[in-house]
Amino acid sequence: MAFTCWHIWKAQCKAVFNHQNPSPPQTIHVITCASTTFRKAKELISVQPSPSMENQRRMIPWSPPPSQMIKVNVDASWKLKSNEGYLGIVIRDSQGRCKSMERKKVHASNALMAEAKAVLQGCLSARQRNYPCIIVEFDSRQVISALNEGKENCSWENFPNDMRIVDVEKSFQICKWSWVPRSANEASNFIATYVGTEMSEECRMDRPPSSLVRILNKDGSPCPPS
């Protein structure tokens, strides 16, 4: 009704003030198009998730892997000025127990390259520990898309790293890539972005530093007293 009244009034104004002959068919067409556009826009809005649903999606917690599997969570930080970053790697079993934590400094020309190097290092660390079946979790959609779709979705800069990851993948009986939101990848993100004295630029830890215990406890991972 609102569109009908508006466009009829607008046509009358054109006839009175601009001396244009009114065209009922054209007015009807404009009213129909406006109504259809409004209805489609309203349908799109109605299917969008509510803020509460988005918050729940963002707050998905870390979960342990199935029995006999090892989960490798990886993340990376990167600084444009220095083209350097840090990798964070956390390896846990199906009981949520930490098997290894690692922090490593790397050179990378972009953030995506740093993320790919984190995946590669996570796989190398798992292979070094002779784990046959792993799930590698990270929060970079671009890296996981490149690994799943192959050369077609891989940038030339990251191609060597992606190919190395694919090559290392063959070392495992089972190797799965899994995208997770940041809330399920907090431990590795903490190690990659940490600034402080408990962790050096490059280190491998079997025991979590006290600053990481809170996140691991939230994830449900048993931790020794800090």
Q: Which residues of 135-173 are buried (b: 16+ CB within 10 A; e: fewer)?
A: bbbbbbeebbebbeeeeeebeeebeebbebbbebbeebe
First to last CA, the chain: 68
pLDDT for 74-84, tens place per residue?
Answer: 999 999 999 99
- In this predicted structure, the answer to whether residue 22 has a pLDDT above a threshold of 80 is no
Look at residue 150 in the predicted model and tell me its pLDDT: 65
φ, ψ dihedrals at 62, nearest 5° = -65, 145
Read off the DSSP letter of residue 110.
S
* Identity at 130, one-letter amino acid code: N
- In this predicted structure, the answer to whether residue 91 has a pLDDT above a threshold of 50 is yes
Every domain of the chain and the residues it spans: 2-48, 70-219
Tokens linked to 140: 């970079």
Lowest mean pLDDT among 68-77, 104-113, 215-224: 215-224
CATH topology of domain 70-219: Nucleotidyltransferase; domain 5 (3.30.420)
